[in-house]
Amino acid sequence: MIARRHQVALALTALLAAAAACQAHERQSAARPGAQGPSAGRSFTLVATGDVLPHTAVVERARYDAGGVGYDFRPMFDGVKSLVSRADLALCHTETVYAAPGDHTGRPLFQSPPEIAPALAATGYDACSTASDHSLDDGAAGVRRTLDVLDGAGVRHAGTARTEAEATSVTLLRAGPAKVAHLAYTYDTDGHPLPNGQPWAVNRIDENRVVADARAARAAGADVVVVSLHWGTEWQDAPDDFQLTLARALTASRTDGRPDIDLILGTHAQVPQAYEKVNGTWVVYGMGDQVAGEMVNRQGLRDPRGNQSSIARFTFTAPARPGGRWEVTKAAFVPQLFDIDAGRVVNLNKALAEGADVRGVRDRIRDVVLSRGAAEDGLVMGE
């Protein structure tokens, strides 16, 4: 967020599934509106969203939407489907592991219904980061099930692994004309030790490891390297010292004058945090929870910020010369809310345009996102 009798056979199965998912993604990207037009050969747009954290109330809503039989999470994401599906590459964050069918649990040890994965695929997500503090809530078995389910839904993944070979491979995604590497790491696993004999099961944050992996991804052919980090202090709007220090170090890393990392996407803090351009690279310190039940903060109080988040949207444009950096030429965010009563993700700008009284929460998210001067570097609030 296992013991194997036939490790070689399973590794081959995983590789074949990944290859099939990659081919499916390339076909999907070619058909997307965002991949068409005169700039299609020179640029691509990436969309990313925050933590999917299905509390019991969220799961119950999915059961209601399925008519009481099974679970249907697709309606939850309808409010952002058009925005997500139009991107050339869409990334999500699966904070919890998936359970065996019909065997889900809520906090503190989350095991979520596997029906979430096809809902993410139907919304238009291409890949998810899976490294989080809940990655080992069901040990190695939970890691294996989660990745098996994502493979079955055609959703790629980064951050956890079933085999050592998978842990050392690069998740390369096609985004229009570019190859994008997706790397993912977590600050901790809530005290759960790594499975015996599987120190590679969950990627832990280590500056040197992240840089080395980014360089390996570049060597594997990545035009753009995106790093997802599960980090930060829960319920704190401002990034903490660890986030600030690590962001500076990672964005300063270069090889032959070219940055090793092109974008950092943060999750875990439960609340929206700022975007900032650091050493010429965009850092999203925290997108907030995209899907979560009623949230209670560290003071034991109901805290609506736990259902607020932002959608990050970046357009990358190809360099003038081969081997140069793909630059972010458009940077935007969209304020988002999970309506816990309706069980729906809401694009707040769209809701406001339709007459909903959401200006206060929309403006609060905007102010947090822009709190470190991102507007001066060109970040705008999108629709």
Q: Give the domain CATH number at 208.
A: 3.60.21.10
* Amino acid 310: pLDDT: 98
Instruction: Give the angle subtended at the CA of 104 by the CAs of 102 and 109, to the nearest 5°.
Output: 160
Residue ranges with strand state E in 219-349: 224-230, 254-255, 258-259, 263-267, 275-278, 281-284, 289-292, 308-317, 327-339, 344-347
pLDDT at residue number 21 = 44
pTM, two decimal places:
0.90
Q: Are 195 and 140 in contact, with CB atoms under 8 Å apart?
A: yes
Residue with tokens 């229009």: 176
> Helix crossing, 139-153 with 7-31: angle to 10°?
40
pLDDT at 19: 42
Q: What would the mean pLDDT of 304-326 be, rounded to a whole number?
A: 96
Residue 365 lies in a domain: yes
Residue 6 pLDDT exceeds 60: no
Q: What is the pLDDT of residues 184-208, one digit of tens each?
A: 999 999 999 999 999 999 999 999 9
- Give 101's pLDDT tier (boundaries 50, 70, 90): confident
Given a cut of 50, whether residue 54 has pLDDT beyond it is yes
Contact 75, 124 (CB under 8 A): no
Rounded CA separation 267/231 (Å): 6
Q: Which residues of 306-342 are buried (b: 16+ CB within 10 A; e: fewer)?
A: bbbbbbbbbbbbbeeeeeebbebeebbbbbbbbebee
In this predicted structure, what is the pLDDT of residue 65? 97
Full residue range of the structural domain in which residue 99 is found: 7-335+348-381
Nearest to 95 by CA among 49, 60, 141, 64: 49
- Assigned domain for 183 exists: yes
Residue 372 lies in a domain: yes
How much of the chain exceeds pLDDT 90, in percent? 85
The stretch 20-38 carries a mean pLDDT of: 43
The answer to whether residue 22 scores a pLDDT higher than 80 is no
Q: Kindly state whether residue 201 falls inside one of the protein's structural domains.
A: yes
Residue 20 has pLDDT above 60, yes or no: no
Query: How many domains, the chain?
Result: 1
* Per-residue pLDDT, 32: 55
Any domain includes 185? yes
Placement of tokens 């035009």 in the chain: 223
Looking at the domain assignment, is residue 137 inside a domain?
yes
More confident residue, 265 or 2: 265
Residue 92 within a domain: yes
Cα(354)–Cα(334) distance, integer angstroms: 16
Query: pLDDT category, 105, cuts 50, 70, 90?
Result: confident
Residue 2 resides in a domain: no
Tens-place pLDDT, residues 203-217: 999 999 999 999 999
Q: Residue 187 CA to chain centroid, in angstroms?
A: 15
| pLDDT computed for residue 109 by the predictor | 85
User: Mean per-residue pLDDT for 27-46?
Assistant: 58
Pairing state between β 224-230 and 263-267: parallel
Residue 280 scores a pLDDT above 80: yes
